[in-house]
Amino acid sequence: MDETEGLSHTKWDWKYHVVFIPKCRRKVLHGQLRRNWGEAFRRLAAQRECRFEEGHLMSDHVHLMIALPPKYSVSQVVG
C-alpha cells in the first residue's frame, strides 16, 4: 500500500518524532493518567488532520511519531 498522501500535483510523506517532557522530568505520566493519554493524543491529532503513527509513554516523557500534512507546521500541531 502506498503510504504517501497528496493532491493532484504533489505527494508527501512527512513524519516527525516529537518528545514531550514534563517540567523537571517529574514522573507523573503513570498510573491512572496513563490510560487516557493515548486516546487524548489521537483526538488532538485528528483535529489537525494528522495521523498518530506510533507512541511510547514513559514515566517521565512521551515519544510520538506523527504524520503531518504540509499545510500545518510542527509548531502549530505541537502548540
Secondary structure in 3-state letters for the chain: CCCCEECCCCEECCEEEEEECCHHHCCCCCHHHHHHHHHHHHHHHHHCCCEEEEEEECCCCEEEEEECCCCCCHHHHHC
- Strands 51-57 and 62-67, how do they pair? antiparallel
- pTM exceeds 0.85, yes or no: no
For residues 68 and 77, the answer to whether their CB atoms sit within 8 Å is yes
Per-residue pLDDT tens listing for the chain (79 residues): 457 777 778 888 889 998 988 777 777 666 666 777 778 888 888 888 888 888 888 878 888 898 888 888 888 887 7
The fold of 12-78 is Alpha-Beta Plaits (3.30.70)
Residue 77 near residue 48 (C-beta atoms within 8 A): yes
